[in-house]
Structure 1
Amino acid sequence: MSNMEVIDGLLMKNNGILTTRECKKMNIPFIYISRMIKEKKLEKIDRGIYISNDGDLDDYYFFQNKYKKSIYSYQSALYLHKITDRIPYKIEVTMYKGYNPHSMKKNDIEIHFVDKKYFYLGLTEVETAYGNKVRVYDKERTICDLIKHRNDIDEEIFRKAIYMYLACNDKNLSNLYEYANIMKIQKKLDDLMVLANG
Structure 2
Amino acid sequence: MIFTSCISIIGRSNASKVVSRSCEQKTAIYKQSASAACNKIQPHNNICENNVWLYYFLLTNTHYFVIIKCVEVESEVTVMSENEKIKDLMTKTTDGIVTTKQVTESGIHRSALKEMVDIGELYRYARGLYLSKDAWEDDFYLLQKKYGRGIFSHDTALYLLGYSDRTPAKYTMTFPKGYNAPSLKQESIIVKRVIPENYSFGIIEMQSYCGHSINVYDLERTLCDILRGSGSDIQIVNAAMKKYAASKEKNIHKLMQYAEILRVKPKVQRYMEVLL
Matched residue SS, 1:164: helix
Give the alignment partner of residue 44 of structure 1, picking from 116, 124, 127.
124
Map 1:164-175 to 2 at 5 A. Answer: 164-175=243-254
Give the alignment partner of residue 135 of structure 1, picking from 215, 223, 226.
215
Map 1:1-198 to 2 at 5 A. Answer: 3=85, 4-10=87-93, 13-14=94-95, 16-30=96-110, 33-34=113-114, 36-106=116-186, 108-149=188-229, 151-197=230-276
Identity %: 32
Amino acid across the alignment from 1:113: R
Amino acid across the alignment from 1:51: L
- What is the deviation of 1:146? 1.3
Amino acid across the alignment from 2:92: G
Contact 2:155/2:226 (CA < 8 Å) preserved in 1?
no
Structure (1 or 2) with the greater strand fraction: 2
- What is the deviation of 1:39? 4.8
Relative to structure 1, the CA distance from residue 34 to residue 118 in structure 2 (aligned partners, 3 Å threshold; closer, same or farther) is same
Contact 1:84/1:164 (CA < 8 Å) preserved in 2?
no
* TM-score when normalising by structure 1: 0.82
Contact 1:92/1:109 (CA < 8 Å) preserved in 2?
yes
Relative to structure 1, the CA distance from residue 192 to residue 51 in structure 2 (aligned partners, 3 Å threshold; closer, same or farther) is same
- Rg comparison, structure with higher value: 2
Find the aligned partners of 1:79 and 1:52 in 2 and give their Cα distance. 27
Contact 2:90/2:97 (CA < 8 Å) preserved in 1?
no
Question: Whose relative contact order is higher, 1 or 2, with alpha carbons under 8 Å and at least 6 apart?
Answer: 1
- What is the deviation of 1:20? 2.3
Aligned length: 192
- What is the deviation of 1:168? 4.4
Q: Please, which runs of 5 or more residues in structure 2 have no aligned partner?
A: 1-79
180-189 or 168-177: which moved more?
168-177
Relative to structure 1, the CA distance from residue 169 to residue 39 in structure 2 (aligned partners, 3 Å threshold; closer, same or farther) is farther
Q: Please, which runs of 5 or more residues in structure 1 have no aligned partner?
A: none
RMSD: 2.5
Find the aligned partners of 2:187 and 2:132 in 1 and give their Cα distance. 28
Structure (1 or 2) with the greater helix fraction: 1
Find the aligned partners of 1:113 and 1:31 in 2 and give their Cα distance. 36
Find the aligned partners of 2:250 and 2:108 in 1 and give their Cα distance. 43
Q: Which runs of 4+ in 1 moved over 6 A?
A: none
Find the aligned partners of 2:189 and 2:122 in 1 and give their Cα distance. 27
Matched residue SS, 1:65: helix
Residues 15-35 of structure 1 deviation map (CA, whole Å, 9 limit, x = unaligned): x22222334455555365455
- What is the deviation of 1:185? 2.3
Matched residue SS, 2:256: helix
Contact 2:207/2:213 (CA < 8 Å) preserved in 1?
yes
Amino acid across the alignment from 1:156: Q
Contact 1:89/1:108 (CA < 8 Å) preserved in 2?
no
